[in-house]
Chain A
Amino acid sequence: MADIFSLAAGNLISPIILSFVLGVAAALARSDLTIPEAVAKGMSIYLLFAIGFKGGIGVAAHGVDVKLVGTLVAAGVLSFGLPFIAFGLLGFMTKLTTLEKAAVAAHYGSISIVTFVAATSVLETQGLVAEGYMVAAAAVMEAPAILSALWIVATKGGGAYATKGLYREILLNGSIVLLVGSFLIGAITGQDGLNQIAPFIVAPFQGVLCLFLLDMGLVAGRGLRDSRGEVGGGAIAFGLLMPLVGSAFGLMAALAIGLSPGGAALFMTLSASASYIAVPAAMRVALPEAKPSIYLTLSLGVTFPFNLTVGIPLYTAISTTLAGG
Protein backbone atom coordinates (compact mmCIF):
# COMPACT_ATOMS: atom_id res chain seq x y z
CA MET A 1 0.00 0.00 0.00
CA ALA A 2 2.87 2.37 0.81
CA ASP A 3 4.28 1.72 -2.65
CA ILE A 4 0.96 2.70 -4.23
CA PHE A 5 0.93 6.03 -2.42
CA SER A 6 4.60 6.60 -3.19
CA LEU A 7 3.96 5.95 -6.88
CA ALA A 8 0.91 8.22 -6.86
CA ALA A 9 2.85 11.01 -5.18
CA GLY A 10 5.70 10.66 -7.66
CA ASN A 11 3.27 10.82 -10.56
CA LEU A 12 1.82 14.09 -9.30
CA ILE A 13 5.18 15.80 -9.68
CA SER A 14 5.46 15.23 -13.42
CA PRO A 15 5.34 17.82 -16.21
CA ILE A 16 2.13 16.43 -17.72
CA ILE A 17 0.19 16.50 -14.45
CA LEU A 18 1.51 19.90 -13.46
CA SER A 19 0.62 21.26 -16.91
CA PHE A 20 -2.96 20.11 -16.36
CA VAL A 21 -3.01 21.67 -12.88
CA LEU A 22 -1.70 24.93 -14.37
CA GLY A 23 -4.55 24.95 -16.87
CA VAL A 24 -7.20 24.35 -14.21
CA ALA A 25 -5.70 27.01 -11.94
CA ALA A 26 -5.48 29.54 -14.78
CA ALA A 27 -9.13 28.97 -15.74
CA LEU A 28 -10.39 29.18 -12.17
CA ALA A 29 -8.39 32.39 -11.68
CA ARG A 30 -10.03 33.77 -14.86
CA SER A 31 -6.69 34.23 -16.62
CA ASP A 32 -6.93 35.12 -20.32
CA LEU A 33 -4.67 32.15 -21.15
CA THR A 34 -6.26 30.18 -23.99
CA ILE A 35 -5.20 27.60 -26.55
CA PRO A 36 -6.86 28.29 -29.91
CA GLU A 37 -9.30 25.62 -31.07
CA ALA A 38 -7.25 24.87 -34.19
CA VAL A 39 -4.07 24.36 -32.15
CA ALA A 40 -5.90 22.05 -29.72
CA LYS A 41 -7.29 20.01 -32.61
CA GLY A 42 -3.85 19.87 -34.23
CA MET A 43 -2.29 18.56 -31.04
CA SER A 44 -5.03 15.96 -30.59
CA ILE A 45 -4.45 14.72 -34.15
CA TYR A 46 -0.72 14.49 -33.47
CA LEU A 47 -1.22 12.55 -30.22
CA LEU A 48 -3.75 10.16 -31.73
CA PHE A 49 -1.52 9.47 -34.71
CA ALA A 50 1.56 8.95 -32.55
CA ILE A 51 -0.13 6.65 -30.05
CA GLY A 52 -1.85 4.63 -32.78
CA PHE A 53 1.36 4.30 -34.77
CA LYS A 54 3.37 3.19 -31.76
CA GLY A 55 0.68 0.64 -30.90
CA GLY A 56 0.94 -0.76 -34.41
CA ILE A 57 4.73 -0.98 -34.05
CA GLY A 58 4.20 -3.05 -30.89
CA VAL A 59 1.99 -5.51 -32.75
CA ALA A 60 4.45 -5.67 -35.66
CA ALA A 61 7.28 -6.47 -33.24
CA HIS A 62 5.50 -9.05 -31.08
CA GLY A 63 2.95 -10.46 -33.48
CA VAL A 64 -0.72 -11.24 -33.00
CA ASP A 65 -1.76 -13.78 -30.39
CA VAL A 66 -4.98 -15.18 -28.97
CA LYS A 67 -4.94 -12.53 -26.25
CA LEU A 68 -5.58 -9.91 -28.90
CA VAL A 69 -8.96 -11.43 -29.73
CA GLY A 70 -9.80 -11.84 -26.04
CA THR A 71 -8.84 -8.23 -25.34
CA LEU A 72 -10.98 -6.85 -28.15
CA VAL A 73 -13.99 -8.97 -27.15
CA ALA A 74 -13.60 -7.94 -23.51
CA ALA A 75 -13.28 -4.30 -24.56
CA GLY A 76 -16.55 -4.49 -26.47
CA VAL A 77 -18.35 -6.26 -23.63
CA LEU A 78 -17.13 -3.73 -21.06
CA SER A 79 -18.14 -0.78 -23.19
CA PHE A 80 -21.60 -2.29 -23.68
CA GLY A 81 -21.97 -3.26 -20.03
CA LEU A 82 -20.50 -0.38 -18.03
CA PRO A 83 -23.29 2.08 -18.95
CA PHE A 84 -25.85 -0.19 -17.25
CA ILE A 85 -23.80 -0.16 -14.05
CA ALA A 86 -23.31 3.59 -14.31
CA PHE A 87 -27.04 4.10 -14.92
CA GLY A 88 -27.87 2.03 -11.82
CA LEU A 89 -25.36 3.91 -9.66
CA LEU A 90 -26.68 7.26 -10.88
CA GLY A 91 -30.15 6.15 -9.83
CA PHE A 92 -28.92 5.62 -6.28
CA MET A 93 -26.64 8.63 -6.06
CA THR A 94 -28.42 11.42 -7.97
CA LYS A 95 -31.77 12.88 -8.86
CA LEU A 96 -30.96 13.20 -12.56
CA THR A 97 -33.66 12.48 -15.11
CA THR A 98 -33.63 9.23 -17.08
CA LEU A 99 -32.28 11.01 -20.15
CA GLU A 100 -29.52 12.69 -18.16
CA LYS A 101 -28.58 9.44 -16.43
CA ALA A 102 -28.44 7.62 -19.77
CA ALA A 103 -26.32 10.37 -21.33
CA VAL A 104 -23.88 10.34 -18.40
CA ALA A 105 -23.80 6.52 -18.46
CA ALA A 106 -22.82 6.54 -22.15
CA HIS A 107 -19.79 8.68 -21.32
CA TYR A 108 -18.62 6.23 -18.65
CA GLY A 109 -18.93 3.17 -20.88
CA SER A 110 -16.88 4.86 -23.58
CA ILE A 111 -13.28 5.99 -23.10
CA SER A 112 -11.11 9.06 -22.88
CA ILE A 113 -8.31 8.68 -25.37
CA VAL A 114 -6.31 11.47 -23.71
CA THR A 115 -6.42 9.62 -20.39
CA PHE A 116 -5.19 6.56 -22.30
CA VAL A 117 -2.35 8.59 -23.84
CA ALA A 118 -1.39 9.98 -20.43
CA ALA A 119 -1.40 6.47 -18.95
CA THR A 120 0.82 5.25 -21.77
CA SER A 121 3.22 8.07 -21.02
CA VAL A 122 3.31 7.18 -17.31
CA LEU A 123 3.99 3.52 -18.15
CA GLU A 124 6.87 4.54 -20.43
CA THR A 125 8.50 6.61 -17.71
CA GLN A 126 8.26 3.58 -15.39
CA GLY A 127 9.72 1.22 -17.97
CA LEU A 128 6.52 -0.81 -18.28
CA VAL A 129 5.65 -2.19 -21.70
CA ALA A 130 2.02 -2.78 -22.68
CA GLU A 131 0.63 -4.86 -25.50
CA GLY A 132 0.50 -2.71 -28.65
CA TYR A 133 -3.04 -3.78 -29.43
CA MET A 134 -4.38 -1.91 -26.42
CA VAL A 135 -4.77 0.93 -28.92
CA ALA A 136 -7.22 -1.25 -30.85
CA ALA A 137 -9.05 -2.00 -27.60
CA ALA A 138 -9.39 1.76 -27.06
CA ALA A 139 -10.94 2.14 -30.52
CA VAL A 140 -13.36 -0.75 -29.87
CA MET A 141 -14.51 0.84 -26.60
CA GLU A 142 -15.42 4.21 -28.14
CA ALA A 143 -18.84 3.41 -29.58
CA PRO A 144 -20.76 0.48 -27.96
CA ALA A 145 -21.62 2.51 -24.84
CA ILE A 146 -23.61 4.92 -26.98
CA LEU A 147 -25.81 2.07 -28.18
CA SER A 148 -26.31 0.90 -24.58
CA ALA A 149 -27.44 4.39 -23.54
CA LEU A 150 -29.90 4.60 -26.43
CA TRP A 151 -31.22 1.15 -25.52
CA ILE A 152 -31.69 2.25 -21.90
CA VAL A 153 -33.63 5.30 -23.04
CA ALA A 154 -35.76 3.22 -25.40
CA THR A 155 -36.67 0.72 -22.68
CA LYS A 156 -37.51 3.50 -20.24
CA GLY A 157 -39.87 5.10 -22.74
CA GLY A 158 -37.68 8.14 -23.31
CA GLY A 159 -37.16 9.97 -26.57
CA ALA A 160 -33.95 9.29 -28.47
CA TYR A 161 -33.28 10.61 -31.94
CA ALA A 162 -31.01 7.89 -33.29
CA THR A 163 -30.79 7.80 -37.05
CA LYS A 164 -28.83 5.79 -39.57
CA GLY A 165 -26.56 8.81 -40.01
CA LEU A 166 -25.81 8.86 -36.29
CA TYR A 167 -24.48 5.29 -36.31
CA ARG A 168 -22.23 6.10 -39.27
CA GLU A 169 -20.92 9.18 -37.48
CA ILE A 170 -20.26 7.18 -34.30
CA LEU A 171 -18.35 4.41 -36.06
CA LEU A 172 -16.45 6.72 -38.39
CA ASN A 173 -15.77 9.58 -36.02
CA GLY A 174 -12.40 11.20 -36.61
CA SER A 175 -10.64 9.89 -33.51
CA ILE A 176 -11.55 6.25 -34.27
CA VAL A 177 -10.50 6.55 -37.92
CA LEU A 178 -7.19 8.21 -37.03
CA LEU A 179 -6.41 5.81 -34.19
CA VAL A 180 -7.19 2.66 -36.17
CA GLY A 181 -5.60 4.04 -39.34
CA SER A 182 -2.30 4.99 -37.69
CA PHE A 183 -2.33 1.68 -35.81
CA LEU A 184 -2.56 -0.18 -39.12
CA ILE A 185 0.18 1.98 -40.67
CA GLY A 186 2.43 1.19 -37.70
CA ALA A 187 1.62 -2.53 -37.89
CA ILE A 188 2.31 -2.62 -41.65
CA THR A 189 5.50 -0.56 -41.71
CA GLY A 190 6.99 -1.81 -38.43
CA GLN A 191 10.34 -0.68 -37.11
CA ASP A 192 11.45 0.61 -40.53
CA GLY A 193 8.46 2.92 -40.61
CA LEU A 194 9.18 4.11 -37.10
CA ASN A 195 12.80 4.88 -37.99
CA GLN A 196 11.59 7.16 -40.79
CA ILE A 197 9.35 9.33 -38.61
CA ALA A 198 10.72 8.83 -35.11
CA PRO A 199 12.03 12.41 -34.79
CA PHE A 200 8.44 13.57 -35.34
CA ILE A 201 6.36 11.11 -33.33
CA VAL A 202 8.72 10.06 -30.52
CA ALA A 203 10.87 12.98 -29.35
CA PRO A 204 8.23 15.75 -29.26
CA PHE A 205 5.51 13.51 -27.81
CA GLN A 206 5.91 14.38 -24.12
CA GLY A 207 6.13 18.11 -24.82
CA VAL A 208 3.02 18.12 -26.99
CA LEU A 209 1.21 16.07 -24.36
CA CYS A 210 2.11 18.71 -21.75
CA LEU A 211 0.63 21.50 -23.88
CA PHE A 212 -2.44 19.42 -24.67
CA LEU A 213 -3.04 18.71 -20.99
CA LEU A 214 -2.61 22.40 -20.28
CA ASP A 215 -5.47 22.93 -22.72
CA MET A 216 -7.51 20.15 -21.12
CA GLY A 217 -6.93 21.84 -17.76
CA LEU A 218 -8.17 25.14 -19.15
CA VAL A 219 -11.30 23.53 -20.60
CA ALA A 220 -11.97 21.54 -17.43
CA GLY A 221 -11.42 24.60 -15.23
CA ARG A 222 -13.77 26.72 -17.34
CA GLY A 223 -16.37 23.95 -17.19
CA LEU A 224 -16.13 23.72 -13.41
CA ARG A 225 -16.27 27.50 -13.07
CA ASP A 226 -19.30 27.93 -15.30
CA SER A 227 -21.34 24.94 -14.15
CA ARG A 228 -21.63 25.70 -10.46
CA GLY A 229 -25.04 24.59 -9.25
CA GLU A 230 -25.68 22.32 -12.26
CA VAL A 231 -23.90 19.29 -10.81
CA GLY A 232 -24.78 18.20 -7.28
CA GLY A 233 -22.72 16.42 -4.65
CA GLY A 234 -24.17 13.02 -5.54
CA ALA A 235 -23.16 13.39 -9.17
CA ILE A 236 -19.65 14.49 -8.22
CA ALA A 237 -19.39 11.47 -5.91
CA PHE A 238 -20.47 9.32 -8.86
CA GLY A 239 -17.74 10.90 -10.99
CA LEU A 240 -15.18 9.79 -8.42
CA LEU A 241 -16.65 6.35 -7.69
CA MET A 242 -17.44 5.17 -11.22
CA PRO A 243 -13.78 5.16 -12.38
CA LEU A 244 -12.94 2.83 -9.50
CA VAL A 245 -15.86 0.56 -10.38
CA GLY A 246 -14.94 0.57 -14.06
CA SER A 247 -11.27 -0.08 -13.36
CA ALA A 248 -12.20 -3.06 -11.15
CA PHE A 249 -14.05 -4.63 -14.07
CA GLY A 250 -11.13 -3.78 -16.34
CA LEU A 251 -8.72 -5.45 -13.92
CA MET A 252 -10.82 -8.62 -13.74
CA ALA A 253 -10.93 -8.82 -17.53
CA ALA A 254 -7.19 -8.16 -17.83
CA LEU A 255 -6.36 -10.89 -15.30
CA ALA A 256 -8.69 -13.34 -17.03
CA ILE A 257 -7.06 -12.65 -20.40
CA GLY A 258 -3.56 -12.74 -18.95
CA LEU A 259 -2.43 -9.28 -20.02
CA SER A 260 0.96 -7.96 -18.94
CA PRO A 261 1.08 -5.52 -16.00
CA GLY A 262 1.35 -2.62 -18.44
CA GLY A 263 -1.54 -3.93 -20.52
CA ALA A 264 -3.64 -4.48 -17.40
CA ALA A 265 -2.93 -0.90 -16.26
CA LEU A 266 -4.08 0.43 -19.63
CA PHE A 267 -7.19 -1.76 -19.64
CA MET A 268 -8.06 -0.50 -16.16
CA THR A 269 -7.50 3.07 -17.33
CA LEU A 270 -9.72 2.59 -20.37
CA SER A 271 -12.49 1.07 -18.25
CA ALA A 272 -12.17 3.87 -15.71
CA SER A 273 -12.15 6.78 -18.13
CA ALA A 274 -15.08 8.75 -19.51
CA SER A 275 -15.42 10.10 -23.02
CA TYR A 276 -15.53 13.78 -23.83
CA ILE A 277 -14.91 13.75 -27.58
CA ALA A 278 -17.06 11.16 -29.37
CA VAL A 279 -19.91 10.62 -26.90
CA PRO A 280 -20.83 14.27 -26.21
CA ALA A 281 -21.33 14.82 -29.94
CA ALA A 282 -23.49 11.71 -30.23
CA MET A 283 -25.53 12.69 -27.17
CA ARG A 284 -26.20 16.16 -28.56
CA VAL A 285 -27.74 14.50 -31.61
CA ALA A 286 -29.52 11.57 -29.98
CA LEU A 287 -30.49 12.94 -26.55
CA PRO A 288 -30.76 16.70 -27.00
CA GLU A 289 -32.86 17.16 -23.85
CA ALA A 290 -30.01 15.90 -21.65
CA LYS A 291 -28.05 18.89 -20.36
CA PRO A 292 -24.49 18.87 -21.74
CA SER A 293 -23.25 20.85 -18.73
CA ILE A 294 -23.90 17.79 -16.54
CA TYR A 295 -22.10 15.12 -18.51
CA LEU A 296 -19.28 17.34 -19.70
CA THR A 297 -18.58 18.60 -16.19
CA LEU A 298 -18.58 15.07 -14.78
CA SER A 299 -16.45 13.62 -17.56
CA LEU A 300 -13.94 16.42 -18.01
CA GLY A 301 -14.14 18.30 -14.72
CA VAL A 302 -14.34 15.43 -12.24
CA THR A 303 -13.37 12.04 -13.66
CA PHE A 304 -10.57 13.17 -15.99
CA PRO A 305 -8.61 15.00 -13.26
CA PHE A 306 -9.24 12.12 -10.85
CA ASN A 307 -7.86 9.57 -13.29
CA LEU A 308 -4.92 11.77 -14.19
CA THR A 309 -3.79 12.46 -10.65
CA VAL A 310 -4.96 9.48 -8.59
CA GLY A 311 -6.37 6.86 -10.91
CA ILE A 312 -3.50 6.14 -13.30
CA PRO A 313 -0.84 5.67 -10.59
CA LEU A 314 -3.32 3.59 -8.59
CA TYR A 315 -4.21 1.36 -11.57
CA THR A 316 -0.52 1.00 -12.44
CA ALA A 317 0.41 0.00 -8.91
CA ILE A 318 -2.45 -2.49 -8.61
CA SER A 319 -1.78 -4.05 -11.99
CA THR A 320 1.95 -4.44 -11.35
CA THR A 321 1.10 -6.12 -8.05
CA LEU A 322 -1.69 -8.41 -9.27
CA ALA A 323 -0.69 -9.04 -12.88
CA GLY A 324 2.71 -10.30 -11.87
CA GLY A 325 4.95 -7.34 -12.54
Chain B
Amino acid sequence: MQRHKAKRVEIIIEAALLSRLTDALQSADVSGYTVLPVKGGSGRSGPWTRDGQISRGSGMFAVICLIRPERLDGLLEVAFEVVEKHIGVVSITDTEILRSERF
Protein backbone atom coordinates (compact mmCIF):
# COMPACT_ATOMS: atom_id res chain seq x y z
CA MET B 1 0.00 0.00 0.00
CA GLN B 2 1.44 3.37 -1.01
CA ARG B 3 2.29 5.79 1.79
CA HIS B 4 2.90 9.53 1.45
CA LYS B 5 4.91 11.97 3.55
CA ALA B 6 2.85 14.48 5.58
CA LYS B 7 3.04 16.76 8.59
CA ARG B 8 0.95 16.26 11.70
CA VAL B 9 0.29 19.55 13.50
CA GLU B 10 -1.16 19.31 16.99
CA ILE B 11 -2.34 22.50 18.65
CA ILE B 12 -3.44 22.40 22.28
CA ILE B 13 -5.47 25.57 22.70
CA GLU B 14 -7.67 27.23 25.28
CA ALA B 15 -11.34 26.37 24.94
CA ALA B 16 -12.28 30.04 24.57
CA LEU B 17 -10.05 30.31 21.49
CA LEU B 18 -11.18 27.16 19.71
CA SER B 19 -13.64 28.74 17.28
CA ARG B 20 -11.10 31.44 16.40
CA LEU B 21 -8.51 28.82 15.54
CA THR B 22 -10.85 26.69 13.45
CA ASP B 23 -12.07 29.84 11.64
CA ALA B 24 -8.45 30.76 10.92
CA LEU B 25 -7.74 27.28 9.59
CA GLN B 26 -10.75 27.49 7.31
CA SER B 27 -9.58 30.87 6.06
CA ALA B 28 -6.26 29.26 5.10
CA ASP B 29 -8.12 26.54 3.19
CA VAL B 30 -7.26 23.95 5.80
CA SER B 31 -10.62 22.22 5.75
CA GLY B 32 -9.51 18.99 7.38
CA TYR B 33 -8.83 18.89 11.09
CA THR B 34 -9.96 16.98 14.16
CA VAL B 35 -10.93 18.52 17.48
CA LEU B 36 -10.46 16.45 20.62
CA PRO B 37 -11.39 17.41 24.19
CA VAL B 38 -8.47 17.45 26.60
CA LYS B 39 -9.30 16.03 30.01
CA GLY B 40 -6.59 17.74 32.03
CA GLY B 41 -2.93 18.38 32.38
CA SER B 42 -0.30 20.59 33.90
CA GLY B 43 1.85 23.43 32.63
CA ARG B 44 3.36 26.77 33.58
CA SER B 45 -0.01 27.82 35.04
CA GLY B 46 -0.17 24.69 37.22
CA PRO B 47 -2.36 21.58 37.05
CA TRP B 48 -5.90 21.66 35.75
CA THR B 49 -8.77 19.29 34.95
CA ARG B 50 -11.98 19.55 32.98
CA ASP B 51 -13.88 17.63 35.65
CA GLY B 52 -16.85 19.60 36.86
CA GLN B 53 -16.06 22.70 34.77
CA ILE B 54 -18.93 24.58 33.16
CA SER B 55 -17.10 27.61 31.78
CA ARG B 56 -15.22 27.93 28.54
CA GLY B 57 -12.84 30.13 30.49
CA SER B 58 -10.92 27.10 31.63
CA GLY B 59 -10.06 23.94 29.78
CA MET B 60 -8.27 23.10 26.56
CA PHE B 61 -8.91 21.39 23.24
CA ALA B 62 -6.54 19.60 20.92
CA VAL B 63 -6.79 20.45 17.22
CA ILE B 64 -5.01 17.99 14.96
CA CYS B 65 -4.28 18.64 11.29
CA LEU B 66 -2.63 16.30 8.81
CA ILE B 67 -1.29 18.35 5.93
CA ARG B 68 1.03 18.13 2.94
CA PRO B 69 4.51 19.43 3.82
CA GLU B 70 4.34 22.29 1.29
CA ARG B 71 1.22 23.68 3.00
CA LEU B 72 2.71 23.67 6.51
CA ASP B 73 3.99 27.26 6.59
CA GLY B 74 0.62 28.68 5.56
CA LEU B 75 -1.13 26.76 8.30
CA LEU B 76 1.36 27.77 10.98
CA GLU B 77 1.13 31.42 9.98
CA VAL B 78 -2.62 31.69 10.55
CA ALA B 79 -2.61 29.40 13.59
CA PHE B 80 0.17 31.30 15.30
CA GLU B 81 -1.74 34.57 15.02
CA VAL B 82 -4.44 33.01 17.19
CA VAL B 83 -2.35 31.11 19.72
CA GLU B 84 0.59 33.51 20.09
CA LYS B 85 -0.59 35.28 23.27
CA HIS B 86 -2.38 32.35 24.83
CA ILE B 87 -1.77 29.26 26.90
CA GLY B 88 -1.15 26.23 24.72
CA VAL B 89 1.26 24.01 22.85
CA VAL B 90 1.99 23.74 19.11
CA SER B 91 3.89 20.69 17.89
CA ILE B 92 4.75 19.36 14.45
CA THR B 93 5.72 15.80 13.65
CA ASP B 94 6.61 13.95 10.48
CA THR B 95 4.09 11.31 9.61
CA GLU B 96 2.79 9.26 6.73
CA ILE B 97 -0.69 9.08 5.30
CA LEU B 98 -2.65 6.87 2.96
CA ARG B 99 -4.97 8.26 0.30
CA SER B 100 -3.01 11.49 -0.21
CA GLU B 101 -5.62 12.91 -2.58
CA ARG B 102 -7.72 13.64 0.48
CA PHE B 103 -5.19 16.07 1.99
Contact = CB atoms under 8 A, between A and B. Distances in A.
Nearest to B56: A281
Contacts of B57: 276-277, 279-284, 292, 296
B58 A289 contact: no
Interface string A231-256: 00000000000000000000000000
A94 to B, nearest CB: 19
A222 interface: yes
A41 B54 CA distance: 5
Interface string A6-49: 00000000000000000000000000001111001100100000
Most buried by A among B20, B48, B55: B55
B46 A219 contact: no
Interface size bracket, A side:
20 to 34
Given A291-B45, A293-B45, A34 B55 contact: no
The binding surface of chain B is classed by DSSP as: loop
B90 to A, nearest CB: 15
A165 B58 CA distance: 19
A296 B51 contact: no
A34 B52 contact: yes
B54 A44 contact: yes
Interface string B1-26: 00000000000001111011000000
Contacts of B52: 34-37, 40, 215-216, 218-219
Contacts of A37: 50-54, 59
Contact of B51 (A34, A161, A216, A284): A34
Interface of B: 14-17, 19-20, 45-59, 85-87
Interface of A: 34-37, 40-41, 44, 161, 165, 215-216, 218-219, 222, 226-227, 230, 276-285, 288-289, 291-293, 296
20 contacts: A34-B52, A36-B52, A37-B52, A37-B54, A216-B52, A218-B51, A219-B52, A222-B49, A276-B55, A280-B55, A281-B57, A284-B17, A284-B56, A284-B57, A285-B17, A288-B85, A289-B85, A293-B45, A296-B57, A296-B58
